[in-house]
Amino acid sequence: MNFVKMIAVSALAGVAMMSSLHTPAFAAGETSQLTAEDAWARSRPASAKVGGAYVTLINNGKTDDRLIGAQSPVADRTELHTVEMQDGMMKMMEVKDGIPVPAGQTVALRPGGLHVMFMGLKETMEEGKTFPLTLTFEHAGDKQVTVQVRAAGAMKNMPHGSMNQGGSMNHGGSLNQDGTMGGGTMPHMGTDKGHMGQGEMQKQHSN
Amino acid sequence: MNKVFAYAVALLVIVGLTIAALVFTGVLSGPGQKSRSGIIAGAPQIGGPFELVNHKGETVTDKDFQGKMMLVFFGYTFCPDVCPTEMQTFVQTLDLLGEDADQVTPVFITVDPERDSVDVVREFVAAFHPAIVGLTGTPEQITQVKKQYRAYGQKANSEDKEYYLVDHTSFTYLMGRDGSLSTVFSYGTTAEEMAKVIREQL
C-alpha cells in the first residue's frame, strides 16, 4: 500500500503548491478588517425544511478570526456545516469549532463543502428572494449580509460571477486544502483536473 | 546451471504475479483498461432487480428502465449542498447530450425514505429537470436497492428526529440499456466527462 500512500502524499503536495500560487486580492480602501461578501443560496422546494447558503469571508486584518455562528429569521436553527468524503462516502457534519478565517486570507463557502445550514425553514427559499443572515465572528463580532436566492442548481452567485475577482471563482485550484476529498483511500478515483471538491476553503497566502 | 535457470524462472513468476496482483487490485492500470480520471474501473457486481415508487407515485421496477441507459445517484432531499450539486451535474450532462439526452434516464434514489415521501421527492427533482426520475419506497425497498448497488446510506445523528443528517454513497452509476453496470463516476466528475462516456455508448 506504499504506492497508495505515495499518491496521496504527492496529491496533497500538489494541492499545497496550487494554493500557494494564489495571490492576495485586497480591496483597496477597505475600512473593515473582515468582510463577508457574495452571500447566496440555492432555491428549495416549498416542502423543504432545510437549506444552505454560501458566502465569501475576507480577512484583511492582521488577526486570525473565526466564524463561530450564524443566525437568520428564515430558520429555526442555523448551523455551520461541511462535507467530507471518506472512502467514497459523503458525510455532512456540523463544524463545531467554527470556520477559521486566518489573517490576510479569503475563505469561500461554496457548493460541495463548507456551507451555512438552515434547519426548520420558516419561509420558502424561492429563487429571486433575499433574506438577512447574521454571521458571528470570534473577534469581528456580528456581520449582517443579504442572501440572494438563486436557481436550485446554481453553482455560484452569478452577478459576481466574473472570473479572477477576489479569487473566489478560481476553479483551477479549488481542491480541498485539507485533503479530505480525493485523498489516498481510492487511488484510481482521480481528481479530474481539479474539479473534485468544488468549494471548501480557498486560502490566499499573504506572507 | 539448471539451478540458476530455475531461480530466474521463479523470480520472473514472482514478478509476474506481483504485477498481476497490482493490476487486479487496481493499483496499476492494465494495458486494456481505460484509465479515465474520476471513473472507477472493475467495480464489483452492481445493479439488479429493484422495486420502488417514482415521484409520480407509480410503482416501478428495474425492468421499466431497461432499453435506455440510466444515470443513478443516491442522495436525500434534506441534503442542501452535495445532492443539488450532483443534480446540477445531471442537468448539465443532459444539456451537453442535446438530442441524445433521451437515451439516458437520470435517476435520483433517496437513502432517506422516512422523510423523502413521493411529494417531497417530486418537488426536489422538479426543481432541476423534468427528465429526472426521483425514486423512493419503503425502508425495506430502499435497503434492497442500496444492497443491489452496493450503496450506503446511514443516519449520522439519528437522535435528532427531525433534522438528522445521512451519510451516503457519493458515486454516480451509469447503467447500460440492459441494466448492467457500465461505469462508476466518483463525486466531482464533470458533466463533460459524463456526457463523453455516455456518448461512447450511444
The single-letter DSSP state of residue B175 is E
pLDDT tens, residue by residue, A21-80 = 443 444 443 445 899 999 999 999 999 999 999 999 999 999 999 999 999 999 999 999
Q: By CB neighbour count within 10 A (0-12 exposed, 13-18 middle, 19+ buried), where does B66 fall?
A: middle
Judgement on whether residues B29 and B58 belong to the same structural domain of the protein: no
Radius of gyration of chain B (CA): 21
Among the listed residues A194, A185, A164, A202, the one whose alpha carbon sits nearest the alpha carbon of residue A14: A194
CB of B164 within 8 Å of a chain A CB? The answer is no
Is residue A139 pLDDT above 60, yes or no? yes
Among left, alpha and beta (phi > 0; psi -120 to 50; other), residue B27 is: alpha
Q: How far is A124 from chain B (nearest CA, A)?
A: 13
pLDDT interval class at A199 (50, 70, 90): very low
Judgement on whether residues B186 and B146 belong to the same structural domain of the protein: yes
Predicted local distance difference test score (pLDDT) of residue B39: 59
Judgement on whether residues B25 and B64 belong to the same structural domain of the protein: no
Per domain, the residue ranges of chain A are: 28-167
Judgement on whether residues B124 and B195 belong to the same structural domain of the protein: yes
Judgement on whether residues B28 and B92 belong to the same structural domain of the protein: no
Judgement on whether residues B82 and B176 belong to the same structural domain of the protein: yes
Judgement on whether residues B106 and B83 belong to the same structural domain of the protein: yes
Predicted local distance difference test score (pLDDT) of residue B158: 81
Among the listed residues B127, B157, B82, B154, the one whose alpha carbon sits nearest the alpha carbon of residue A48: B127
Residue ranges in chain B whose pLDDT is less than 50:
25-37
Among the listed residues A16, A19, A8, A47, the one whose alpha carbon sits nearest the alpha carbon of residue A172: A19
Please give the helix or strand (H or E) that residue A65 lies within, else none: strand A65-71
CB of B46 within 8 Å of a chain A CB? The answer is no
Total residues belonging to chain A:
207
Q: How far is B139 from chain A (nearest CA, A)?
A: 20
What cell was used for B153?
446510506
Domain count, chain B: 2
Measured CA to CA in angstroms, residue B8 lies from B4, B13, B16, B18 at distances of 6, 9, 12, 15
Judgement on whether residues B3 and B54 belong to the same structural domain of the protein: no
Specify whether the CB–CB gap between A147 and A133 falls below 8 A: yes
Among left, alpha and beta (phi > 0; psi -120 to 50; other), residue A89 is: beta
Measured CA to CA in angstroms, residue A206 lies from A9, A36, A138, A169, B14 at distances of 25, 18, 21, 18, 52
Judgement on whether residues B164 and B80 belong to the same structural domain of the protein: yes
Residues of B whose CB is below 8 A from A186? 40, 186
> How far is it, in rounded angstroms, from Cα B122 to Cα A195?
29
Judgement on whether residues B162 and B192 belong to the same structural domain of the protein: yes
A28 φ, ψ (degrees, to nearest 5) = -70, 145
Residues 59-78 of A with CB under 8 A from B: 77
Judgement on whether residues B133 and B100 belong to the same structural domain of the protein: yes
pLDDT interval class at A10 (50, 70, 90): low
Q: How far is B99 from chain A (nearest CA, A)?
A: 21
Measured CA to CA in angstroms, residue A15 lies from A185, A197, A202 at distances of 16, 12, 11
The CA dihedral of B1, B7, B8, B13, to the nearest 10 degrees, is 150
Tell whether domain A28-167 is in CATH 2.40.50.140: no
What cell was used for B61?
421496477
pLDDT tens, residue by residue, B145-188 = 999 999 999 999 888 989 999 999 999 999 999 999 999 999 99
Q: Tell me, what CATH number does B161's domain have?
A: 3.40.30.10
Judgement on whether residues B20 and B101 belong to the same structural domain of the protein: no
Residues 51-70 of B with CB under 8 A from A: none
Domain assignment of residue B2, given as a range: 1-33
CB of A58 within 8 Å of a chain B CB? The answer is no
